[in-house]
Amino acid sequence: MRTVRAFIALPLEEKLRREIGAFLVRWRKKAPDLKWVDPSLLHVTLRFLGEVDVGLLAPLDRALREVARGTKPFHVSLGRVGAFPVLSRPRVFWLGLEPRDELAALAARVDRQVEAAGLGRRAEPFSPHLTVARARSGPGLQVDPEFVTYWQALAGGEPNGGETPGGQFTASKIVLYESRLHPNGPEYLPLVEVELR
């Protein structure tokens, strides 16, 4: 049985990736020990699938076409920053997205179709965001407390917190990606691309 590591996502427009990339350069200087996401890899994960039997790729293609048939393109805006699991003990740093309701409804449609195609239920509740950095793991590794304070100020919208990127993009297609993990970072290969209509 051959498998691929896969996820379903909304791709970002190149212009917005560049704008976010400019912020990541500044933030990277404040916390160089975090694992920062390459801006070219930014996307909105609608559903992480994990290891998927290649025999399910055709049913997933049909499932995404069904989702797209009932979904019109819509605008997505960057919101506030945040962290998982919580701001006081961050492991993942993210940019929030709006409109949360429309994104959640799209993710729910994806979930229904993915389950009908033969995959299980979602493990975690959907939270619309763009992951921008991760804390490195290992003994003695922790996030610089000064950066955590800075990020908390950004999340709280405090004036001295600094800027966050604005901007928006049009959610116009859903992509099923294969994720190949390499020592120098992941590679995302589009397997199926479906335009929203």
Q: What is the mean pLDDT of each run of 10 residues along the chain (197 residues)?
A: 96 94 89 93 97 96 96 94 89 94 97 94 91 83 83 76 80 98 93 96
Residue range 3-195 forms a domain whose CATH class is alpha beta
DSSP annotation string for 15-72: HHHHHHHHHHHHHHHH-TTSEEPPGGG-EEEEEEEEEEEGGGHHHHHHHHHHHHHT--
Domain ranges of the chain: 3-195
Q: Given strand 74-86, what is the order of strands in its sheet?
A: 35-36, 129-134, 89-98, 74-86, 168-171
pLDDT at 108: 97
Mean pLDDT of the chain: 91
Q: Which residue has the tokens 């000064």?
A: 146
Predicted model pTM: 0.92
DSSP-assigned beta bridge partners for residue 3:
53
Task: Note the pLDDT tens digit of each residue in 17-66.
Answer: 999 999 899 889 889 889 999 999 999 999 999 999 999 999 999 999 99
Task: Note the pLDDT tens digit of each residue in 55-65.
Answer: 999 999 999 99
